[in-house]
Structures are given as structure tokens and as C-alpha cells.
Amino acid sequence: MTEVQDSVHDPIGFLSPELLKGQVAFITGGGSGINLGIAKAFVRCGAAVAICGRTEERLAGAAAELEALGGTVAYRAADVRDPEALQASIDHAAEQLGDISIAVAGAAGNFYARAEEMSSNAFRTVVDIDLMGAYHTARFAFPYLQRTRGSVLFISAGQAYKANKYQAHVGAAKAGIEMLMKDLAVEWGPHGIRSNSLVPGPVSGTEGMTRLAAQSGDEAWKKAVPLGRYADKEEIGAMAAVLSGPLGGYVTGAQYIVDGGLGLVGSSHITEAVEQALFNAE
Ligand code: COA
């Protein structure tokens, strides 16, 4: 087996600190995990950043981290399931920082559950956070994005296009996000607004991954990824900055997969048993 490649040290360092100069980003779920990683990448690329999440304390801590990187930062707590609170958070961001030019719909919820056993409320909770939250983020950011000819970035997942056991609620929500992303690309393109999705695979140091891996096993995940490792948050943040800023100026309606190859695995009949038969028969 070939040796596993390490991640590039500090991929954001390869991007210009002026890449997102003058831009104002609003990021849901920005208080932690992948979305805080995206916020940090945006700050390092020169954007002013507003983060939104459920808890004020978490947002305050994240804002301090962003300010330590030299960022101009705003935050107001909102649960993306509460449209009025979300709208207030978006409007507050614009009041503090100026018209939003990048909206990132990153807030998500996930847990493993059997489709036949979970409650309607459990299924609805994930759809409300992921799909309805993403729709409302884009919708409430629209007036600002229209003025700035900005972009929306939806944080999706491989569950959107690859079937998984115990993830029916997540798959339904994420597949909805992908079509929403494409519909908005077509409908809002004439306003100069771009709409794309980013599909991370497993990312190290995130609450979601830590919880899922604790249940299903760290090694099972790593073994499933062709690159043999989790992504660093910086690798996701760097791609988000490229897609959301002028480097991605002609990219819209695109699903951008940054998953170490995970989405390609699993549909082949070349299972471990077949490999054994093919190459270790003697
Ligand atoms: N299995 C089955 N059902 C579950 C569940 C699980 N592991 N976890 C939650 N639910 C159900 C609850 O029982 C409840 O349904 P009920 O009212 O019929 O009992 C429903 O989902 C809502 O759960 P609740 O805990 O009240 O919602 P919440 O708003 O506090 O939490 C979640 C939202 C469920 C998404 C929670 O996992 C969460 O907040 N996660 C943090 C964010 C996250 O997951 N990040 C990673 C993204 S990849």
C-alpha cells in the first residue's frame, strides 16, 4: 500500500490575504467546527465576518479567536429553526459590518437513527436545521446579496447523493439542499448571485465527527476514505474561500466535493473478499 499523504500545512497561507478584501460574510453554525474553520479562513483572506449560532457564550469565544487573527467580527445568537431570530442575526450583521456579500449556510444536526424507529420530530428536527435553516439563510441574505452581487455557499454532505443506513433524515435534508442550491443558481444568477455547495468528508476536531466516530469507530471512517485520513478544518476553509470569492467568479450551481474520495467508495463489487480472491488466492 502506498504511504498516506499528510495534509498541506496551512493551505490558507497559499491564498492572498486580500482575496476577500471588502467582503462581508455571514456564517450560520460559525461558533464551532467546520464553520468556524471557514470563518477563520475568510478572516485571513481579508473579509469581515459575522457568525451565528445557538449559544451566545460559544459565539463570544469564537469571535475572540477571530479577532485574535485580526478580524472585524460581529455575532448575534439565533437558532436557524427560528426564522425571526435568524433574520435578526442577518440584519444585525449587515448593520455592524455592511451589506453581506457571502452567506454560508453551515448549521447542521446529525445523529444515527433507524428510519422506522425515530420520531417524526427527530426527522423534522434535522430537516428544520439543515434544509429550512439553509433556505432561510439564503432568503434573508438575498436583499444584501442582490446589492453586492454576492454568493451563497451551502455546506452539504455526501449523504445528499450516497445512500447510508441510519441517515435517512440527513440524506433527505442534504439532498434537498443540493437542489435548492441549483435552483437558486438559476433563479438568482440574473441578479449576479452565485450559489454553490461544498461537501466535506470527515473533518478532524469537529463536534459532529467526534460524536459520530465515537459511535461508529474512528478506524472505520479512516479506512473508508481513499486518502486514509480526515480533512483539516483549514482544508475546508481554504476551498470555501476560493469558491465564495472572486476566484470562483464563474462557478455557480456547483457541488464542490472535498471529501478525500469518500463519496466514490462503496458502490463497487470489488469488496475486500473479492480483492482477497483476486490477489491473495495462492
Ligand atoms: N436518535 C433518535 N432520535 C434523536 C436522537 C438520536 N440520537 N437525538 C435526538 N433525537 C430526537 C429527539 O428524541 C427529539 O425527538 P422527540 O421530541 O420525538 O423525542 C428530536 O430528535 C429533537 O431532539 P432535541 O434533543 O430536542 O433537539 P435539539 O434541538 O436539542 O438537538 C440535534 C438537535 C438533535 C440535531 C442535536 O443532535 C444537536 O444539537 N446536535 C449538535 C449539532 C450537530 O449535530 N452537529 C453536527 C453536524 S454534522
Please check the confidence at residue 1 and state whether its pLDDT lies above 50.
no
Nearest Cα neighbor of 248 from 182, 202, 197 is: 197
Of 101, 156, 197, 244, the catalytic one is 156
Probe residue for ligand 1, chosen from 118, 125, 198 as the CB with the greatest number of ligand atoms within 8 Å? 125
Q: Does domain 15-208+231-263 have CATH number 3.40.50.720?
A: yes
Which pLDDT score, from 0 to 100, does residue 133 have? 98
pLDDT band at 14 (very low <50, low <70, confident <90, very high): very high
Of 40, 174, 233, 244, the catalytic one is 174
Q: Look at 3-12, 55-64, 142-151, 157-166 and tell me which has the smallest mean pLDDT.
A: 3-12
What is the position in ligand 1's atom list of the atom closest to the CA of 54? 39
Q: Whose CA is nearest to atom 9 of ligand 1?
A: 122
CA distances (Å), origin 95, targets 71, 134, 143, 163, 241 = 17, 21, 13, 42, 23
Which pLDDT score, from 0 to 100, does residue 266 have? 81
Whole-angstrom Cα Rg for the chain: 19
What distance in angstroms lies between residue 109's CA and the mean position of ligand 1's atoms? 7
Give the position of cell 474561500: 241
CA angle (195, 122, 233) in 5-degree steps: 45
pLDDT band at 4 (very low <50, low <70, confident <90, very high): low
Which pLDDT score, from 0 to 100, does residue 2 have? 46
Mean pLDDT of 143-158: 98
Q: Is position 174 annotated as part of the catalytic site?
A: yes
Residues with CB under 6 A from ligand 1: 108-111, 113, 118-119, 121-122, 125, 129, 207-208
What distance in angstroms lies between residue 111's CA and the mean position of ligand 1's atoms? 7
Mean pLDDT of 244-261: 97
What distance in angstroms lies between residue 218's CA and the mean position of ligand 1's atoms? 22
pLDDT band at 6 (very low <50, low <70, confident <90, very high): low
Q: Look at 40-44, 109-113, 171-175, 220-224 and tell me which has the smallest mean pLDDT.
A: 220-224
Mean pLDDT of 225-253: 97
What distance in angstroms lies between residue 47's CA and the mean position of ligand 1's atoms? 33
Predicted confidence (pLDDT) per residue in 22-59, tens digit: 999 999 999 999 999 999 999 999 999 999 999 999 99
Which pLDDT score, from 0 to 100, does residue 18 have? 97
Q: Whose CA is nearest to atom 28 of ligand 1?
A: 125
Give the position of cell 440574473: 190
Nearest Cα neighbor of 202 from 192, 214, 193 is: 214
**Whole-prediction pTM value?**
0.94
Mean pLDDT of 269-279: 82
Which pLDDT score, from 0 to 100, does residue 191 have? 98
What is the distance between the alpha carbons of residues 224 and 221, in angstroms, rounded to a whole number? 5
Beta-carbon count within 10 A of 112 CB:
15
Mean pLDDT of 50-76: 98
Which pLDDT score, from 0 to 100, does residue 13 have? 94
Domain boundaries defined on the chain: 15-208+231-263
| Residue 122 near residue 166, CB atoms below 8 Å | no
Q: Is position 233 annotated as part of the catalytic site?
A: no
Which pLDDT score, from 0 to 100, does residue 176 have? 98
What distance in angstroms lies between residue 209's CA and the mean position of ligand 1's atoms? 15
Contacts of 86 (CB under 8 A, 6+ apart): 28, 52, 78, 79, 80, 133, 136, 137, 140
Q: Mean pLDDT across the chain, nearest whole number?
A: 94
Which pLDDT score, from 0 to 100, does residue 66 have? 98
Predicted confidence (pLDDT) per residue in 78-114, tens digit: 999 999 999 999 999 999 999 999 999 999 999 999 9
What is the distance between the alpha carbons of residues 218 and 74, in angstroms, rounded to a whole number? 35
Please check the confidence at residue 281 and state whether its pLDDT lies above 80.
no
- Grid coordinates of 230: 480526515
Partners of 154 in the β-ladder: 105, 197
Which pLDDT score, from 0 to 100, does residue 127 have? 98
CA angle (164, 170, 172) in 5-degree steps: 90
